[in-house]
Amino acid sequence: MATVLTAAVWAALLLVPAVVRNAYFLNGMILVFIYGTAAQAWNLLGGYGGQLSFGHAVFFGIGAYASTLLLAQAGLSPWIGMWAGAAVAAGVSLLIGYPTFRLRRHYFALATLALAEIVRIVFLNWPLVGAAVGMYLPVRLMNQSWAMIWNTKGPYYLLALALFALACALVRLTDRARLGVYLRTIDEDEDAAQALGIPGRRYKLLAMGLSAALTALAGTLFAQYVLYIDPSTVLDPSRSVLFAIMALLGGRGTVVGPALGAGFLTLLSQYGGGTLGGLGRGYDYVLYGLAIMLVAVYEPRGLVGLVERLRRSRGAPAAGLGPSPVASPATDPRPGGERRPLLVVERLSKRFGGLEALRGVALDVRRGEIVGVLGPNGAGKSTLFDCVTGFLRPSEGAVRLAGEGGERSLTGRPPFWIAQQGLSRTFQLIRVFPGLTVLENMLAGQEHRGEPLLQAFRPSPPEVYARALELLRLVGLEAARDLRAGALSYGQQKLLALAMALVRRPRLVLLDEPMAGVNPTVVERLRQHIRAQHAEGVAFLIIEHNIEVLMELAERLYFLAEGRVVAEGPPEAIQRNEEVLGLYYGR
C-alpha cells in the first residue's frame, strides 16, 4: 500500500506542469525541490549521522559558482559543470571534515558556522567570482538546452523534480542499507559504535562527501534558475540554517521528513509572505517562526512524528524474556595442554594529572579462559578496560593481543581497530542504541574488519541476519526484534548488550559488571550464556562485584585496589587472602 501511494505521489508531481499554469505556484514548487534536495543532503550528515552542520551554504555556493564560472568563462555546459561543482564540493568537505570531526555535537556545529562565514567573506573580496557584485549568467543563451537556461518554468520544474528524486532515492538507499544503521549508531553513541568495530570517522566522511555533492547540485540548479548569484544569495549562513531547519522540522533521520519540511516551510514562506507582507515588514516571518515553534513544541520529532502520532494505534508492550536453552557447564574447549596467552597487559599505568588510577598493572588471559577482576569501587577496574580497548591511552605499559599472524600491540590504537582484532566489550553503564530496533542493534555488531566502503550501501549479508537471530533466540529476545531497544527493560538491555558483543564471534569478551542491577532470573540467564559461549571457545575477562558469580565462573581472579594488582590466583585462594579481605570488606 505504501509503495502504491508513493508511486502515485511521484506520478502526480510529474504531471503538475502539464495541468498547472500558475507561474507563482510552479515557482514555489521549484524552490521546494531545490531546497528539498539540499535538506535531504543535510539529512544524510545531520539527520542520520547526528553531525549538526551549519556550513552547507559553502557547498551550495560552490555548486553555484563552479557551474557559472565554467559556463561564463569556458563555455562549458552546466550539465557537465554541475558534476564538476559536486566533485569540488565533495573534496572541500573531506578537507573540512577530517579535522573538524574530532569535534562533536555543538562544537562541530560552531566550527562549520565559522567556516561558512569565512568562505562568504573570501568570496565577497575575490575578483575572479565577481566579489560583492556577483555574477550574471549569460542570458544570450536563453532557451538553449545545453546551457540549462529557459524562459519558462516547465523545464526547471522537471529538472528540479529529477534532482529531488535522486536525493530521496539516495537517502532511502542509505536508510535501508548498513550505512543507515552505522550512521544512526554514531549519532546515538559514537563510543559504543567504535566498541563494536565501526570506524566512525570513515562513515562520517562518506556521509559528508555525499551530502556536499548533493548540496552543490542543488546550488547549480538554483543559479541556473535565478540567473544571478552573489555571496549574500548563495553563501549566506542563513541558508545553512534553513536547510537544517527543514530537515529538523520535517523529521531528521527519515526519508520523508526533509521533504515535508521543505514543502511546509517554502510554501508557507511564499504564500505567507504574499498574504501578510502588505501589512508591514516582518509579519510573514512572525507566522513562519510561530509555525516552527508550534511543531517543535507539540512534536519534537517533527512533522513525521506528528503524522505518526495521528495514525498510531495502541502500541504493543515490550516482549518479556523468552525461553532460553540450558547452557552446558563451562569447560575448556581444547583437549588439553597449557593454553597460550591471548591478552597480555604489562606494567600498565594511567595518570590523570596528579591522580594515578592504574599503577603497574600486569595480567593475562589465556585462550578459552574465564578470568575475573575483583576490587572495591575506585580501584581502577573500568579504567583498565578503557586502556585495553583504546578509549584511554595508557601513561605507561603495553597491551598485546594474540592473533592469527602473531601478537599485535593494542597500545595507542583506536577503539574500532582494537574491536576488529577480535576483542569485544560491554560497558558498566548499558550502552545499547535505544533509538534503533533490537535487530538493528545486533546488525551494528557484525564484523567490520576488511569491510569495503561500498558494501555500506548494501544490506547486511544473510549469514549476519542468521547469526543475529540465533543470538536473540538464545537470550530470549527474538520476539522483541522489531521493538526499539529503549523500550526493553534494564535486564533485557543487559542481555542485548551481551548478544551484540558476540555477533562477530570475538575471541575475547570484556564484561564490565554484567550482573549489576538485574534480578536473580537475569543473573542466571547471563551466567548460562557466558558458560555456553565459553564452552565454544570464547575467553572472558569479567569485572564483577557479585562474588558468587565470579567464584563459579572464573578460573582465575585478579584483585585490584588503589590502581594495583594486590593478588592473583584461583578464586578459592583469593577468597582466603587476608589482605584482600581487609581491602574489600574493611576488616
Rounded to a whole number of angstroms, the CA Rg of the chain reads 29
Specify if 412 maps to a domain: yes
Q: Looking at residue 198, what is its pLDDT?
A: 97
Among 236, 261, 287, which residue terminates a domain?
A: 236
Specify if 297 maps to a domain: no
Q: With bands split at pLDDT 50, 70 and 90, how would you rate the model's confidence at 312?
A: low
**What CATH number does the domain containing 515 carry?**
3.40.50.300
pLDDT tens digits, 327-378: 444 444 433 446 789 999 999 999 999 899 999 999 999 999 999 999 999 9
Q: With bands split at pLDDT 50, 70 and 90, how would you rate the model's confidence at 321?
A: low
With a cut of 80, say whether residue 315 has pLDDT above it.
no
The overall average pLDDT reported for the chain is 90
Specify if 526 maps to a domain: yes
Q: Which of 430, 344, 427 is nearest to 388 (CA)?
A: 344
pLDDT tens digits, 475-484: 999 999 999 9
With a cut of 90, say whether residue 453 has pLDDT above it.
yes
Q: Looking at residue 314, what is its pLDDT?
A: 47
Among 236, 263, 279, which residue terminates a domain?
A: 236
In this structure, the number of other CB atoms found within 10 A of the CB of residue 158 comes to 16
Q: Determine the structural domain holding residue 219 and report its residue range.
A: 25-236
Cut 0.75: pTM above it: yes
Same domain (yes/no): 40, 165: yes
Same domain (yes/no): 207, 351: no
Specify if 302 maps to a domain: no
With a cut of 70, say whether residue 288 has pLDDT above it.
no
Among 197, 221, 236, which residue terminates a domain?
A: 236
Same domain (yes/no): 85, 225: yes
Residue with cell 560552490: 62
Q: Which of 248, 217, 209, 243 is nearest to 50 (CA)?
A: 248
- Can you list the pairs that 96-104 forms with residues at least 24 positions away whose Cβ atoms lie under 8 Å? 96/55, 96/58, 96/208, 97/204, 97/205, 97/208, 97/209, 98/201, 98/205, 101/51, 101/200, 101/201, 101/204, 101/205, 104/190
Amino acid symbol at 509: V
Q: Looking at residue 274, what is its pLDDT?
A: 65
Q: Which of 412, 349, 343, 414 is nearest to 380 (CA)?
A: 349
Q: Looking at residue 311, what is its pLDDT?
A: 73
3-state secondary structure of 530: helix
Instruction: Report the domain count for the chain.
Output: 2
DSSP letter (8 states) at residue 532: H
Specify if 299 maps to a domain: no
Specify if 44 maps to a domain: yes
Q: Which of 162-166, 268-272, 313-317, 411-415 has the least mean pLDDT? A: 313-317
Percent of the chain with pLDDT over 90: 76
Q: Which of 79-83, 105-109, 288-292, 520-524 has the least mean pLDDT? A: 288-292
Amino acid symbol at 20: V
Phi, psi (rounded to 5 degrees) for 508:
-140, 130
Q: Looking at residue 326, what is its pLDDT?
A: 45
pLDDT tens digits, 540-576: 999 998 888 999 999 999 999 999 999 999 999 998 8
- How far apart are the C-alpha atoms of 46 and 50, rounded to whole Å? 5
pLDDT tens digits, 392-410: 999 999 999 997 778 899 9
Mean pLDDT computed over 47-59: 94
Specify if 170 maps to a domain: yes
Specify if 364 maps to a domain: yes
With a cut of 70, say whether residue 383 has pLDDT above it.
yes
CA angle 320, 324, 325 (to 5 degrees): 170
pLDDT tens digits, 150-195: 999 999 999 999 999 999 999 999 999 999 999 999 999 999 999 9
> Are residues 295 and 245 in contact, defined by beta-carbon separation less than 8 angstroms?
no
Question: What would you measure as the largest C-alpha separation in the chain, in angstroms?
Answer: 94
Same domain (yes/no): 405, 552: yes
Provide the β-strand partners of residue 346: 398
Same domain (yes/no): 78, 195: yes
- How far apart are the C-alpha atoms of 211 and 93, rounded to whole Å? 9
